[in-house]
């Protein structure tokens, strides 16, 4: 049986990045991992993932959740270090 950790490990994103995609798109972890894996193989897909995380950061700041915004910024920094093509 494939575990949640196996799915996240195979998608090319970290758990925090999968969580951010899921938060943005209102998806569960497995669907978010699948979407993330798909986008990583599409033209400009990594840019779309980075923008999703940026949107999540903005939403967290708007609702005053600085702690979550800080977690999301860490996920964004890691994502951009692994996928520099996603930088604008």
pLDDT tens digit sequence for 30-70: 999 999 999 999 999 999 999 999 999 999 999 999 999 99
Domain count for the chain, please give it.
1
Task: Give per-residue pLDDT as tens, 1-34.
Answer: 888 889 988 999 999 999 999 999 999 999 999 9
CB environment 10-36: b (16+ within 10 A), e (fewer): ebbbbebbbbbbbbbeebebeebbbbb
Which structural domain range is residue 41 located in?
4-86
């Amino acid at each position: 049986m494939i575990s949640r950790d196996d799915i996240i490990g195979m998608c090319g994103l970290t758990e925090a990045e999968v969580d951010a995609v899921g938060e943005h798109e209102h998806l569960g972890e497995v669907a978010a991992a699948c979407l993330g894996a798909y986008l990583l193989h599409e033209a400009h897909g990594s840019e779309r993932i980075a923008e999703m995380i940026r949107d999540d950061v903005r939403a967290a700041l708007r609702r005053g959740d600085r702690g979550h915004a800080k977690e999301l910024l860490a996920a964004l920094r890691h994502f951009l270090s692994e996928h520099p093509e996603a930088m604008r």
